[in-house]
Amino acid sequence: MIFTDQLNRKIELTETPKRIISLVPSQTELLYDLGLRDEVVGITKFCIHPKEWFHTKTRIGGTKKFDFDKIKLLNPDLIIGNKEENEQVQIEELSKHYKVWMSDIVNLSDALDMILRVGTMVEKQEEAINLKLRIENMFKELPIQNTISNRQSAAYFIWNNPYMIAGNNTFIDDMLSRCGFTNVFASPNLSRYPEVSKEQILKANPQVTLLSSEPYPFKEKHVEEIKNICPKTNIIIVDGELFSWYGSRLLLTPPYFTKLIQSLM
C-alpha cells in the first residue's frame, strides 16, 4: 500500500511493519499506546516514555544525531520521524535505504491527523480513531472555550542563556491559545523560536511567564532571574511535555490545562 506522510512524501509498504524505529519521543509513546509492544525495535535516547522501553529498546542516538550503524543492524522496515525534531540531511540519508514516514505538526489538528495516519499505517486504525476522539473531546471541554475574551498575555520560555521563546506557527503556540493565553512573541516578524533580549522581554511585558521543564529544565532559581527583568509578570514553571508532546500524551494535557486555568482565575 502507498502511504503519504505530512510532508506529502509517499512510501510504499508491502506488508504491515514489523521492525519500526521511532525518531521522536512523543511518537514513540504513541506507538506504545497503540499496542505495538514488539514491533518497535529502536528509539532515541530522549524517548523516556514508556520507561520500560527506555530501558529495554535499542537507542539509536538522539533526535538530531543518529547512529547509522545501529540503525543498519536493526534492519527497520519503517522509520517514523518529524520535520522539526529531526535534521533534514540525516533524514534524507535514511530515506535512501529505508522507508521513512515524516510528521509535520504545528497545531492540534496536525497532531490528530498524525495519530490517524500512523495508526492506519501500522494497522491499528481502530485504536487510533478511539484515541483521536478521546483527545478531541477532552480539548473541547476545556473551560477556556467559554472565556476567550479574558485571555492573558504570556511568554513561553524554552531555553536559558540565551533566552529562547516559543513563537508563531509552533505547536506550543497553539497549546498556549487553547490554554487561554495570547502569545506576546507570536509575531510573523520573528522566527518560530526566537532568541530574545532582556529589553524585549520587558517591552513585551507578559502578564504570565511560563518556564518550561524541557528542553531546558527551568527551576525555581530561574524565577527570581526573570522577576528581575519583568517585575510585574506572574511566573509559573510548567510541564513542557504537556505543552509540546503531540502523541498520546495529549490525553494528559487538558486536565493539566484545566488546573492551570483555574489557578489563574
Q: Where exactly are the structural domains of the chain?
A: 2-139, 149-264
User: The whole model's pTM is what?
Assistant: 0.95
Confidence of residue 264 (pLDDT cuts 50, 70, 90): confident
Name 7's Cβ contacts closer than 8 Å, sequence gap at least 6.
Answer: 83, 102, 104
For the segment 144-181, what is each residue's pLDDT rounded down to a tens digit?
A: 655 555 789 999 999 999 999 999 999 999 999 999 99
- Find, among 251, 248, 244, 252, the residue nearest to 85 by Cα: 244
Which residue blocks in 102-233 are alpha helix, DSSP H?
Answer: 108-121, 125-140, 171-178, 198-204, 220-229
Q: What is the pLDDT of residue 147?
A: 54
User: Is-contact 192 169, C-beta < 8 A?
Assistant: yes
For the segment 30-63, what is each residue's pLDDT rounded down to a tens digit?
A: 999 999 999 999 999 999 999 999 999 999 999 9
For the segment(s) 149-264, the CATH number from 3.40.50.1980, 3.40.50.300, 3.30.360.10, 3.30.70.600 is 3.40.50.1980
| Domain 2-139 superfamily per CATH | Nitrogenase molybdenum iron protein domain (3.40.50.1980)
Confidence of residue 113 (pLDDT cuts 50, 70, 90): very high
Answer yes or no: is pLDDT of 203 > 90: yes
Q: What are phi and psi of 144, to 5 degrees?
A: -65, -20
- Find, among 125, 126, 131, the residue nearest to 112 by Cα: 131
Q: What is the pLDDT of residue 193?
A: 97
Confidence of residue 202 (pLDDT cuts 50, 70, 90): very high
For the segment 12-39, what is each residue's pLDDT rounded down to a tens digit?
A: 999 999 999 999 999 999 999 999 999 9
Name 227's Cβ contacts closer than 8 Å, sequence gap at least 6.
Answer: 233, 235
Q: What is the mean pLDDT of the chain?
A: 96
Name 99's Cβ contacts closer than 8 Å, sequence gap at least 6.
Answer: 11, 12, 13, 17, 76, 77, 78, 79
Q: What are phi and psi of 67, to 5 degrees?
A: -95, 100
Identify whether 188 is preceded by a cis peptide bond (ω within 30 of 0): no
Taking residues 236-258, what's their average pLDDT? 97
- Fold match, 2-139 / 149-264: yes
Q: What is the pLDDT of residue 148?
A: 54
Q: What is the pLDDT of residue 143?
A: 81
